Structure 1
């Protein structure tokens, strides 16, 4: 799953060298909680030359009142995308969701605790996450696609073993191609190939607690325990 992301500096979006075109101003955050339905920068197939702001939580066009729509559509599973009623009409509405990192829960073996872990590009910069969108009641809404986790990410998100679809280079470019077929799209919706390019570490507790305000610089800092992900996908303390 991917319900929590970071995008803490507007300059990082401006580094895309695409103008931000939106009726509302983008407000960066250290922690965006998807359940707040925030406005997030995306590059979409409909306007690939600009950065737009779409609202996180896909609402199908046939929904009359959002309060009547109870489904959790912050994420769309890759294995449900072409069959599930909420998503199947929108596979051609593709976008790249911009963020500097995302948070995932980890449950230590033999406990009921939940630790917060953060994943960002090892070299810095932005992730581009594959998404789909709708045009619902004069606004654009989106969902982040998730896939099975690779070995490293499965060690972190050890209960769900899912991760967001990370795209870069030719894969990101292909995602925004109008000519992309369903078969080609399925081939792109796979675990991230090179997990050595991910920096993964434990951060402060409480990221997934809606009653706790974790929109602060400290949320991106390594936890005092020093928990990190080792080569081979094992967790360690040092």
Structure 2
């Protein structure tokens, strides 16, 4: 699962990392975003891999009404079932990348999760990582406005993440630059599932009062 991640990078860092130009910048640069707020974040779409645009976290299928988020959770899409779930099956080939600095997960220390340890996880030797995503272009029925919306694709947890996310044992599909390009270009999605694909992740437990042990870049160019 992935419900919280950091976007502490700059537009310049994104442009250099993805060799892309920022076309839309109505996204948030924050140390921690919650998916349940449906924030706007930077995304790179398969039909324009040289452009950085803005997407809303939480895929809205074309048939969704404006109150969809109150009834459904589309923050994550399981890689194994994208082609069978009603909300996702029409968007399996709509590939996108979601830039992140790192993401957050909790390790349960008791059966009910009353005691938990919070970890931040990143891709080794990367200040920016990409989540694999699928997207839709949703049209508001009343206004006609169109919105780019997306879900983060998840897979079975690798050894590290199974220890941290020790209840669901899932993790987002975390991509390097090369694997991100392959995702956008349409390689079979199951090639990015664990154990076939196993990203080199690193994790740190967050101590009280410490926001980010990875020392991210500031939110300015």
Could you tell me the TM-score, scaled by structure 2's length? 0.84
Contact 1:165 1:192 in 2 (8 A): no
Distance 1:124 1:177 in 2: 22
Alignment of 1:1-238 (within 5 A): 1-10=1-10, 11-16=12-17, 17-22=19-24, 24-67=25-68, 70-109=71-110, 112-137=114-139, 138-178=146-186, 180=187, 184-191=188-195, 193-194=197-198, 197-204=200-207, 218-221=210-213
Q: 1:116 to 1:61 in 2, by over 3 A?
A: same
Answer yes or no: is the 8 Å Cα contact 1:204–1:221 preserved in 2: no
CA distance in 2, matches of 1:192, 1:200: 21
- Displacement, 1:167? 1.9
* TM-fit CA distance, 1:98: 0.4
State the shift of 1:63 in Å.
Answer: 1.0
Deviation string, structure 1 residues 6-61 (Cα, Å, up to 9, x no partner): 01121432332311111x53331100111111111111112111111111011111
**Unaligned residue ranges in structure 1 (runs of 5+):** 206-216, 223-238
Checking the alignment, whether the CA contact within 8 Å between 2:191 and 2:197 is kept in structure 1 is no
Displacement, 1:109?
Answer: 5.0
CA contact (8 A) 2:9 2:128 kept: no
Q: For 1:68 and 1:9, how far apart are their aligned partners in 2?
A: 28
Q: 2:135·2:151 contact (CA, 8 Å) conserved in 1?
A: yes
Q: In 2, distance between residues paired with 1:100 and 1:74? A: 18
CA contact (8 A) 1:147 1:191 kept: no
Task: Report the alpha carbon displacement of residue 141 of structure 1 after superposing the two structures with TM.
Answer: 0.3
Asked which structure has the greater RCO (Cα within 8 Å, sep 6+), the reply is: 2
Segments of structure 2 that go 5 or more residues without pairing to the other structure are 140-145, 215-221
**CA distance in structure 2 between the aligned counterparts of 1:4 and 1:50, rounded to whole angstroms:** 24
C-alpha distance in structure 1 between counterparts of 2:58 and 2:198, whole Å: 28
> Alignment partner of 2:154: what SS?
strand
Q: TM-score, normalised by structure 1?
A: 0.78
